[in-house]
Amino acid sequence: MLRRLLLVLGLIGVFIAGFWIARGIFKPREHVVTQAEASVLLEKMETVAKLVTVEGYFTELYSHKDYWRYDWWIFRKKALLRVKARVSVGYNLEGLDINADTATKTISIRNIPKEPEIISIDHSIDYYDISEGSFNAFTPEDYNKINKKARDLIEQKAKESDLFKQAREQGIEIIDLIRFIGESAGWTVQQETAAVKPKVEKPAAKPID
């Protein structure tokens, strides 16, 4: 009798243990739920007429350091970063005026931009090393300043490169192509470059007697 009771209790124990093991295996696992919210606002929309004639790709290493009064490690903060950028150079055609006279078969192109300009600078920053002093840490304003200085560095490098020369040559080729297509169709193409506004020099200050 005792042996049978022990057998029944053992079977019940095995059943309960199996139940809990099966529950642990087949129980739906809890997933971590991540929620993100974003608000995108379209503040302004403008129509543009810009012609990109050449693009340049730049990679620069930029080192930033500032400190309070003394260049000691407790007052110093430094950042080493890599700036990668794509600079688009071309012409702003917002003032371009094109007229076609079917009677005389003449196409007049006025206000052609004389010189190319930087259309856009798309850049990204990778921070390699950031060190902060005990009494001088980076703030969001610091990162904004670093971002602006990095962009200004790329803009300066672009102006010192051959991008503007290549953009100018490409612009001339485009105008020549338009003239060739027009003249091939029996039209006369007349072009007029936009006038460059003269620089107004400020009169020199008179010395104080």
pLDDT, tens digit, 9 for 90 and up, residues 123-179? 898 887 777 655 556 678 888 888 888 899 899 999 999 999 999 999 888 888 888
Tokens describing residue 154: 């790329």
Q: What is the pLDDT at residue 156?
A: 92
Of 158, 138, 137, give the one whose Cα is nearest residue 147.
138
Cα(152)–Cα(161) distance, rounded to whole angstroms?
A: 14
Query: Any idea which residue has 């672009």 for tokens?
Result: 158
Confidence of residue 208 (pLDDT cuts 50, 70, 90): very low
Of 73, 57, 58, 53, give the one whose Cα is nearest residue 116.
53
Predicted structure pTM score: 0.63
Please give the distance of CA 126 from its chain centroid, rounded to a whole number. Answer: 13
10 Å CB burial of residue 51 (0-12, 13-18, 19+) is middle
